[in-house]
Structure 1
Amino acid sequence: MSSYLLPGIIVLLVLILFTSFVTVQQGSIGVTTIFGKYNRILFPGLNFKIPIIEKVFKRISIQNRSVELEFQAITVDQANVYFKAMLLYSVLNQQEETIKNVAFKFMDERSFMQALVRTIEGSIRGFVATKKQSEVLGLRRDITEHVKQQIDQILEEWGFHLQDLQMNDITFDDAIMRSMAQVVASNNLKAAAENEGQALLITKTKAAEADGNAIKIAAEAERQAAQLRGQGVALFREEVAKGMTMAAKEMQQANLDTSVILFSMWTEAIKHFSENSKGNVIFLDGSSEGMDHTMKQLMSLNKLMDSKQHA
């Protein structure tokens, strides 16, 4: 009888021996139960467990996990907003209480994901419901921060930590998208018109400044030219006066009438007028009274010059 039982006993002992060891993969933590009650956690590597009565209830991954979300929200002005988001989360830490929460808070992974997705959707919908359609696109960062603040605390109670939340896409109904595109196009046209107007204003302002500077330069040049002409005329008059003085002295030494100088100057002036003037007619008083009047003026000028010379 014993010869028949011995092989069975040996096989049973071998089975018990093999079931007494369990391997936990790197990046995971095992949770064991005894008669359905939590017992302990198993870390990566080869672990010993009580044969038959101690069972591995669940293997929990402590690596980062990601999930993509798609859902809809409605703004305060009744516009539909469609979101596409990416959620990155992980187990909070490897402490025993944290692992127990992860293992026993939810019936299975599917229940946990459903609760997580619905919580995030509810948080975003509650936030968007207080905003207008025109504000949503500019509040992408605010929406993300709002969700992180609300969800992170809830996840920690479940034993998880929210690593990141990205709003990858925010869209509206086709009619709203077309109207938004028209608004953007009209704003771009308005900005282009304003820029063109500013450019034209700057161009005209610069042209006016250039004209003003040209006028100033021309005025300064004319002033300097007039000054030079005045100096030239003064020098010319000075030289004429010197010439007349010398001629008068020579005529006095020769006992000649100095009035001849004045008459000669008068005739030379008439000749200059006729040669260089742009007009066609020169009016001269050829009467004897006019000649007499002119000669008297020349004589008075001659006496004035003589008085200056003697002085």
Structure 2
Amino acid sequence: MVIGIIAGLVLIILFSGMVTVNQGSVAVITVFGKYKRVMRPGLNLRIPLIEKIYKRISIQNRSMELQFQAITQDQANVNFSAMMLYAVLNQDDNTIQNVAFKFLDERNFLQALVRSVEGSVRAFVATKRQSEILQLRMEIIHHVKEQLDNQLEEWGFHLLDLQINDITFDEAIMRSMAQVVASNNLKAAAENEGQALLITKTKAAEAEGNAIKISAEAEKMASQLRGEGVALFREEVAKGMALAAKEMEQANLDASFILFSMWTDAIKHFAENGKGNTIFLDGSTDALQRTMRQLQTTLDGSSK
């Protein structure tokens, strides 16, 4: 009976010396409270009742959501919503020892990490104006990583990534920013409309100017052609009259008959095409003789 009890105790002690460490984590072993060694993933052996597992540490990536506030140089409140990704620096014994013993527990470490990130962001934002913050998202991230890398390495961690998901301001500032954007949009729209109207009027003026120029050139050409036509008509009339006068002279006829005939034809043409207009003619003998003399003078001038 006693032997069975002793054998059972021995088996319990032997089995208690077997430790399983899960993948993605390590176990820190201490002897009477002093750091001894690190157990890796898999089945490990320890000295029962002497070696104790002080802490199991995950070496996997960890994430945390952050929400905090900062104040700009011009005293504007900025609300940040961010996601932080961090992990143990490596699996070296010294690194694992720092992770295990630098802080009292996980809660204290997380509190220090969050406060360090928030403090770094606030220090950067305090040097910038409210109007600049939205454009400095990447600069804020780079600043935080530069500030925290060395400090986190001393703790056995490193910051893998910091994503700033949202940057917002107080409601009053958001309203003023919306008003500024709206006014800028209205200004841009007015400028575009003005430019479009200017272009339209300029094109219309150019088109009107071209039309006037083309019309003037056409009128000039038409006037020139009309003048040439009248000149040719007069030239042909003069030639015809001179030829008729020459033939009548050769036939011993009075050339004034031609003038009289032309004069009566003109009177007939006026009567037929006058559209009801009244033409007053001096039918006296003196007026007729005076008209004939004027026509004769014109005929003589043309024949010369």
**Do these two structures clear the TM 0.5 threshold for a shared fold by scoring above it?**
yes
Asked if 1:94 is matched to 2:117, the reply is no
Structure 1 residue 110: Cα displacement: 0.6
1:117 and 2:114 matched: yes
Which residue, out of 137, 141, 147, partners 1:144? 141
Give 1:113 shift.
0.7
CA distance in 2, matches of 1:286, 1:41: 146
Identify the range of structure 1 (250-259 vs 120-129) with the bigger mean alpha-carbon deviation: 250-259
* 1:219 correspondence with 2:222: no
**Partner SS for 1:85:** strand
**Structure 2 counterpart of 1:72, from 65, 69, 73:** 69
Q: CA offset at residue 172 of structure 1?
A: 2.5
The whole-number CA distance in structure 2 between the counterparts of 1:184 and 1:22 is 64
* Whole-angstrom distance in 2 between the partners of 1:182 and 1:209: 40
Checking the alignment, whether the CA contact within 8 Å between 1:258 and 1:302 is kept in structure 2 is no
Q: Normalized against structure 2, the TM-score is what?
A: 0.84
Offset, 1:94: 2.7
1:133 matched to 2:135: no
Deviations 1:70-103 (A, max 9, x none): 1122222222222221111222233333323222
Cross-structure match for 2:44: 47
Report the Cα offset of residue 185 of structure 1. Answer: 2.6
The DSSP-based 3-state class of the residue aligned with 1:93 is: coil
Looking at structure 2, the residues matched to 105 and 97 of structure 1 have their Cα atoms a distance apart, in angstroms, of: 11
The range that moved more, 233-242 or 129-138, is 233-242
Q: Contact conserved, 2:69 with 2:78, CA < 8 A, in 1?
A: yes
Instruction: State the identity %.
Output: 70
In the alignment, structure 1 residue 203 sits paired with structure 2 residue 192: no
Question: Gaps spanning 5+ residues in structure 1: where?
Answer: none
State the aligned residue count: 304
Aligned to 2:189: 192
Aligned mates of 2:159, 2:107 — CA distance in 1: 18
- Partners of 2:164 and 2:249 lie apart in 1 by 115
- 1:16, 1:150 → 2: CA distance? 49
Gaps of 5+ in 2: none
- AA of the residue aligned to 1:41: V
**Superposed displacement of residue 63, structure 1:** 2.0
1:163-201 CA deviation, whole Å, 9 max, x = no partner? 222222222222222222333333333233223222322
What's the CA shift string for 1:50-78, capped at 9, x where partnerless? 43322332222222211111112222222
| 8 Å CA contact 2:242, 2:299 repeated in 1 | no
Give me the whole-angstrom Cα distance separating, in 2, the residues matched to 1:272 and 1:50: 145
Instruction: Give, in whole Å, the separation in 1 of the partners of 2:201 and 2:129.
Output: 43
What residue number does 1:233 align with?
A: 230
Is the 1:259–1:302 Cα contact (8 Å) retained in structure 2? no
Query: Residue 46 of structure 1 aligns to which amino acid in structure 2?
Result: L
What does 1:16-55 correspond to in 2, within 5 Å? Answer: 16-55=13-52
**1:274 Cα offset (Å):** 6.3
SS in 1 for 2:136: helix
Task: Tell me how far apart the structure 1 counterparts of residues 141 and 118 of structure 2 sit (CA, whole Å).
Answer: 12
Conservation of the 8 A alpha-carbon contact between 2:21 and 2:41:
yes
Cα distance in 2 for residues equivalent to 1:149 and 1:173: 29
Task: Summarize the Cα distance change of 1:68–1:253 in structure 2 as closer, same or farther, 3 Å threshold.
Answer: same
User: Is 1:250 aligned with 2:247?
Assistant: yes
Q: C-alpha root-mean-square deviation of aligned residues, in Å?
A: 3.0
SS at match of 1:78: coil
